[in-house]
Amino acid sequence: MLAVGGRPLPPSPFAGATGLLSRVGNTPLVRIERAVADLIPPGVEIWGKAEWFNPGGSVKDRAALSMVLDAERRGVLKPGMRLLDSSSGNTGISYALIAAARGYGVTLCLPSNANSERKRVLHAYGVDVVMTDPLEGSDGAIREARKLAASHPEYVYLDQYSNDANWGAHYASTGPEIWEQTEGRVTHFVAALGTSGTFVGTSRFLRDYAPHVQRFSMQPDSPFHGLEGLKHMASALVPKIYDPTLAHENIEAPTEESYEMERRLAKLDGLLVGPSAAAAVWASVQVARRLDRGVVVTILCDSGTRYLSETHIWKGA
């Protein structure tokens, strides 16, 4: 990878990964063209990291693998032990894949309204899924995981919302990849807030290595939203790893406009992405509209194939 200002880039957080897990990271950076051509100035480019190219199908492979490897290095996690965490789905699938490859069991607390695709994948991997109150969303799953951690000290509770190895994965992989793939041309970075690990880690890298890059966080515009996996921070349990001071600005994304962008990306650019990825592109457009020139990079965190049971992805097709 390229050095930044003569400084060596941080070492890979995935050292020690073998087999399929060695393929985590180094996802393609693709330019979004026809879907945004009539929405942004001609001198501005929007690019997205296609994170469904990770083995587990989402950006969460990075954080999950980093957290597992970190626990192994610290001697907390050993073969035959059981991982515990909460998830809205994607991190759980990443845990399931990694645990199967490295010899662990998985207990996952999951809101019962998670879509059928996620539930089926988790069951296929043999995950012990504990369903939680759908009205409490990811916060309810977090509370249940904490209870299980207290009553089962033999479980290894990775707690993705508080685990520094979550954002550390992006500091040492996503950030450097963006710098390398844009050949240092990136001027603006946009990422959605769930656990906040992607935004926090990548933004800390950019702050430390390329402070001229403007950093934008994105979250839903309401507590009652349809952007699965994202948190409306003002009304949710705020992740311990979240650092709001990293953002030059926070953008609030509306659900329906994000759904429209989801369909637009599929029809005009062949990019079938999930709703949070579409919301990130919507937010990137809001940033791009203010510019005369620039390179805006965002995270396309997963594929739309995990949402085909939901009408928003094909409505009006």
The verdict on whether 116 is a catalytic residue reads no
Rg (CA), the chain: 18
User: Measured over all CA atoms, what is the biggest interatomic distance in the chain, rounded to whole angstroms?
Assistant: 57
Secondary structure (3-state) at 154: coil
Distance CA 198, CA 49 (A): 12
Q: How far apart are CA 130 and CA 143, in angstroms?
A: 12
DSSP 168: H
Closest by CA to 201, choosing from 299, 130, 278, 277, is 299
Between 90-102 and 116-124, two packed helices, what is the crossing angle to 10 degrees? 10
Helix residue spans in 134-274 (DSSP H): 137-151, 164-169, 175-181, 197-209, 255-269
User: What gap in Å lies between CA 86 and CA 142, rounded to an integer?
Assistant: 5
Kindly name the residue from 58, 60, 87, 303 that is annotated as catalytic: 60
Cβ atoms of 299 and 50 closer than 8 Å? no
Check 217, 276, 284, 303 and give the catalytic one.
276
State yes or no: is 86 an active-site residue: no
**d(Cα 72, Cα 70) in Å, to the nearest integer?**
5
Tokens of 196: 């906040």
Strands (E), the chain: 29-32, 44-50, 82-86, 105-111, 128-132, 156-157, 188-192, 214-220, 249-253, 294-300
Cα 146 → chain centroid: 22
For every residue of 199-234, DSSP letters joined together read HHHHHHHHHHH-TTSEEEEEEESSSS---TT---GG
Catalytic residues: 60, 276
